[in-house]
Amino acid sequence: MRCASENQANRGKLRLAPQMAMIACMSQAEAGKNEDRRIEVPAAPRGFMLLLALGPGLVWCGEYIGSGEVILSTRVGALFGTALLWVPVLAIFAKYWIGLAGAHYTVTTGEGMIDMMSRMPGPRNWVIWPVFIGQVSAGAFSTGALASVAGVFAAYFIPLPPFILGWIAVLLVISLVWWGKYDPLKHVMSVLVLLIIVGTLTVAYATWPGLRAIFDGVAGFRIPEPPAWAATTDRPTSPWLEIMPLLGWAAGGFASQVWYTYWVMGAGYGMTRGRDYGQPLDPAVLLAVDSADAQRLRGWRRVVTVDATTAVLIGITVTAAFMIAGAGVLGPLHIAPEGPDVAMTLSRIFGERWGIWGAHLFVMAGLAAMLSTMLGQFAGWPRLLSDCARLLIPGVGRWPWKTQFRSVLILYAASNMIIVYTLGLKPVFLVQLSAILDGLLLTPLQALAVGWVLYAVMPRFFSPEVRPSIRAHPVLALGLALAFVVFGYVCLFQLGQAF
């Protein structure tokens, strides 16, 4: 009514610009609706309370500290010593920016990374199709690889066939993630991460090569040839065959960065408070964000930055510890295990060096890493694939989110049973294949899509007054560019040559 009376009083002016009058009326009406949809963004914790609020990063690093670190880092350390320490450090640092940028977007808008990537310009969901196709196969092989390795490590403690123990591990993990709750996942992951840190640091301390060797390995960027004792007639000797899987799964692959946004949603940071999984952002809610809300969202971005940085520091430390252990113990003995005897070989060597408790600590850390990664993957992949299916397949979105989540969980349980039984005798092969499928091929596209949406699309959801406050920091763009260049180079110039 107010718009109508104003239009009638200014009929002469409106005759010259009727479209502007209509827009003004619609804007007032929309503003009223947005005011109704406005939510109060909670204040972000500071100081000691910020430390208590950390949690998504523990789930994140607990998920990505897994077979890539236990198997690949230990093996690479045995083959090359500490000369390739720069590989996991560079990979983790580059992927950190993808996960952090996605988390900044999530706390600001309330939606996860898959919905974020669907907002790329061009044909509808053109980014999501290759993600969906690639992640279906990568998820099956990755979870199967983890179950296989977990069974092999568990056989050190339990006298049962590894494939039976792998099946038990799958069922145990599924029972923990079945309800899709975040808090139990956080608590279990925290305990497992603690076990991993204690076990690996104990072994790394005993095999410490000195600061000079560590510095040369991190800053040298050398690519030495594999040692003569590791060469076989049926296996190519390119060092990139060992480097690429480690690059791919250090800090997890493509999926791990997506999952971090889910763990942020589970913790209720920023605009994710009170929202369920499997929901895109609400444009009306974002348009109603005011300057005070924007400042609170910036506070939540600081929380995410501290949380993600904590995860990265833990990841680099643990990955380096596994590599140092491999270099100090396995390298001098010319042992780089890759068959089903990997756990028994490692435990025997460590036991001979430090006694039974040394063997127990290493294998316990390895088993904890496998189980923590399985928990993260079985909690994360159903969320990722459910989001993809909701965007790509009409009608899926009408199913309750838990139905989507559990359907994928059941399918992966069945595929794991098959993979563990048929390919479980080749744990290193499974890990390397999964690392390339999940960690290398889609990562350049992920860095590009996250950067574009974060800087070119996200500000449009907010009012002009708020946009300057919610713009992403330029340093994120530099980090995303680094990730794009590093993984794009490997995919374009090294992947084909190595094979």
The CATH number assigned to the domain holding 389 equals: 1.20.1740.10
Token digits of residue 317: 């430390």
5 and 69 both lie in a single domain: no
Q: Are residues 80 and 22 in the same domain?
A: no
* Nearest-5° Cα angle at 344, 84 to 240: 25
pLDDT score, position 162? 84
- Residue 42 in domain: no
Look at residue 367 in the predicted model and tell me its pLDDT: 79
Here the tokens at position 291 are 């300057």
Supply the pLDDT for residue 12.
38
Mean pLDDT, range 312-321, rounded to an integer: 89
Rounded average pLDDT over 48-56: 79
What would the mean pLDDT of 146-151 be, rounded to a whole number?
Answer: 81
pTM, 2 dp? 0.83
Residue 425: Cβ-neighbour burial (10 angstroms; 0-12, 13-18, 19+): middle
Over residues 392-448, the pLDDT tens digits come to 998 888 888 888 888 988 888 888 778 776 765 566 666 667 677 777 889 999 999
* Higher pLDDT among residues 299 and 205, named by residue: 299
- Please determine, for residue 33, whether its predicted confidence score (pLDDT) is greater than 70: no
Cβ–Cβ < 8 Å for 98, 317? no
Band (214; pLDDT cuts 50, 70, 90)? very high
- Which stretch, 122-126, 192-196, 324-328, 346-350, has highest mean pLDDT? 122-126
Residue 18 confidence (pLDDT) = 38
Is the domain of 329 the same as that of 438?
yes
Are 389 and 461 found together in one domain? yes
Mean pLDDT (the chain, rounded): 82
Q: How many domains are contained in the chain? A: 2
Percent pLDDT > 70 in the chain is 80
Statement: residue 348 has pLDDT above 70: no
- Percentage of residues in the chain with pLDDT exceeding 90? 37
Can you tell me the distance from the alpha carbon of 11 to that of 17, in angstroms, rounded to the nearest whole number? 10
| Residues 144, 17 share a domain | no
Q: What is the 3-state secondary structure (H, E, C) of 75-108?
A: HHHHHHCCCCCHHHHHHHHHHHHHHHHHHHHHHH
Rounded to the nearest angstrom, the gap between the alpha carbon of residue 293 and the centroid of all alpha carbons in its chain is 28
Residue 21 clears pLDDT 60, i.e. is over it: no
Q: Indicate whether 49 pLDDT > 60.
A: yes
Q: What is the mean predicted confidence (pLDDT) over 349-370?
A: 71
Token pair for residue 484? 């794009």
pLDDT computed for residue 55 by the predictor? 83
Residue range(s) defining the domain that contains residue 104:
47-498
Do residues 3 and 111 both lie within one domain? no
Residues 176 and 133 in one domain: yes
**Which of 59-63, 358-362, 363-367, 444-448 is predicted least confidently?**
358-362
pLDDT of 479: 98
* Amino acid letter, 212: R
CA distance 451 to 483: 11
pLDDT of residue 378: 87
Residue 333: what pLDDT? 84
- Mean pLDDT score, 138-154: 80
Amino acid 68: pLDDT? 61
Amino acid at 404: Q
| Shared-domain flag, residues 199 and 242 | yes
232, β-bridge pairs: 235
Answer yes or no: is 311 within a domain.
yes
- For the residues 380-390, what does the mean pLDDT come to? 92
pLDDT for 76-113, tens place per residue?
Answer: 998 999 999 999 999 999 999 999 999 999 999 999 99
Residues 351 and 440 in one domain: yes
Higher-confidence residue of 316 and 205: namely: 316
Residue 388 lies in a domain: yes
307 and 352 assigned to the same domain: yes
Tell me, yes or no, whether 245 lies in a domain: yes
Question: Of 371, 384, 370, 378, which Cα lies nearest the Cα of 135?
Answer: 384
Q: What is the mean pLDDT of residues 259-266?
A: 94
Residue 91 lies in a domain: yes
**pLDDT value of residue 307:** 94
Give pLDDT, residue 20.
36
Match 């591990």 to its residue by tokens. Answer: 169
Least confident of 91-95, 167-171, 283-287: 167-171
Same domain, 187 and 276: yes
* Res 430: pLDDT: 65
Spatial distance between the Cα atoms of 454 and 472, rounded to a whole number of angstroms = 7
Residue 404, CB half-sphere, CA atoms under 13 Å: how many? 23
- Written as six digits, the tokens of 217 are 């390995």
The verdict on 155 and 11 lying in the same domain is no
